[in-house]
């Protein structure tokens, strides 16, 4: 990666290396709300910033990724991809990411991908060879007689067939916004455009038949597996199979009950909640959650209530609160004296 391509994820979030995980999370939520496509329809600049903010949070919120990012800087991705994958870790000679003979091996996930790219076969750079992510030099011959002779391949006449039983399947990781995962979408990968069904979640694997690597001798072709990662959302989270969100209400709404507008994945809906709601209690909206794969059904949406007092009030409001205080008969702490020793 060229130095000019390096992204300072701390700067994108307006933070620094000393920022805590909680600060990173709070800042991400603030920026994600600000630049979310739903809040900025048609604004390409906001959409680009939203993707940058998501990318930065994806790395800095993961302790392992953040550690490598802090340690290796612009080469953190190569370090993450090759650690343990090269003999001795790092590069082929046990060092860090290196450019060998003008070939930037940091763009390849395995030596198979390098060969596939040179031969014009499917499963080139950016795709995993479906082995173990490790480099296997024993399957290739070079003019130098060994795996370190990258100088020339004698027109690949010495290329040996892959080891017996080696999978032709390819696995590629893809990142989706919550909206893309909810509605379904299409994504471009090395082998072409693939359709993503609605309702996938982080960890889901999508099989695309016949889009994997091709065996040059048997002409057999493996399958492509897309490993899904759903990017964090500033409002909705998963709780098991259901979606969950937190909605603030005022003290008077909690006492008297109210009908309020609540965001759902498909848009705003009106929710009526009873009097006497407490912070932390949830309303279950059945069938308003996440799509169930291969079914015309959805899970539930859990709306968690948070009672939020106003920071500033008018003179009239203060007078009303003072009057309520003077005439209040309810004491939520009346039972505490029973706990004395």
Percent of the chain with pLDDT over 70: 71
139: confidence class by pLDDT, cuts 50, 70, 90: very low
Average pLDDT over residues 103-108: 53
- Tell me if the pTM is above 0.75: no
CA angle 233, 236, 239 (to 5 degrees): 115
254 contacts 247 by C-beta, under 8 angstroms? no
Q: Which CATH number fits domain 170-230: 2.60.260.20, 3.50.50.60, 2.60.120.20, 3.40.190.10?
A: 2.60.260.20
How many C-alpha atoms does 9 have within 13 Å on its Cβ side?
Answer: 25
CATH fold label, 1-82: Helix Hairpins (1.10.287)
Beta strand pairing call for 103-104 and 170-176: unpaired
Close Cβ partners of 92 (under 8 Å, ≥ 6 residues apart): 86, 98, 100, 135, 147, 148
CATH fold label, 237-327: HSP40/DNAj peptide-binding domain (2.60.260)
Q: Which of 202, 200, 160, 205 is nearest to 58 (CA)?
A: 202
pLDDT on residue 3: 47
298: confidence class by pLDDT, cuts 50, 70, 90: very high
Average pLDDT, rounded, for the chain: 77
pLDDT on residue 73: 75
List, for residues 198-229, the tens digit of each pLDDT value: 999 999 998 988 888 887 777 788 898 999 99
178 contacts 245 by C-beta, under 8 angstroms? no
Percent of the chain with pLDDT over 90: 37
Same fold for the pair 1-82 and 237-327: no
Domain residue limits, the chain: 1-82, 170-230, 237-327
């Amino acid at each position: 990666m060229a130095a000019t391509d390096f992204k300072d994820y701390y700067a994108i979030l307006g933070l620094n290396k000393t920022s805590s995980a909680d600060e990173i999370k709070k800042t991400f939520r603030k920026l994600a709300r600000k630049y979310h496509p739903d809040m900025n329809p048609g604004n390409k600049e906001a959409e680009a910033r939203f993707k940058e903010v998501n990318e930065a949070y994806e790395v800095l919120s993961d302790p392992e990724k953040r550690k490598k990012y802090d340690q290796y800087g612009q080469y953190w991705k190569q370090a993450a991809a090759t650690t343990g994958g090269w003999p001795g870790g790092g590069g082929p000679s046990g060092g860090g990411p290196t450019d060998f003979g003008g070939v930037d091996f940091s763009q390849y996930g395995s030596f198979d991908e390098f060969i596939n790219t040179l031969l014009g076969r499917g499963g080139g750079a950016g795709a995993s060879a479906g082995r173990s992510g490790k480099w296997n030099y024993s399957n290739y011959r070079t003019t130098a007689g060994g795996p370190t002779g990258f100088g020339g391949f004698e027109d690949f006449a010495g290329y040996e067939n892959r080891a017996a039983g080696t999978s032709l399947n390819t696995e590629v990781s893809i990142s989706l916004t919550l909206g893309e995962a909810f509605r379904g979408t299409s994504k471009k990968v090395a082998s072409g455009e693939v359709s993503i069904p609605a309702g996938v979640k982080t960890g889901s694997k999508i099989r695309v038949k016949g889009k994997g690597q091709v065996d040059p001798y048997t002409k057999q072709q493996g399958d492509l597996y897309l490993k899904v990662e759903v990017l964090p959302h500033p409002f909705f989270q998963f709780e098991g199979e259901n979606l969950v969100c937190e909605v603030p209400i005022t003290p008077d709404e909690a006492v008297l009950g109210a009908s309020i507008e609540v965001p759902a994945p498909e848009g705003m809906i009106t929710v009526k909640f009873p009097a006497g709601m407490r912070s932390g209690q949830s309303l279950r909206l059945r069938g308003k959650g996440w799509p169930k794969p291969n079914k015309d059904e959805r899970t539930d949406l859990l709306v968690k209530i948070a009672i939020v007092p106003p920071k500033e009030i008018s003179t009239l409001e203060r007078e009303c609160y003072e009057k309520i205080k003077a005439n209040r008969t309810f004491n939520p702490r009346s039972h505490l004296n029973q706990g004395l020793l």
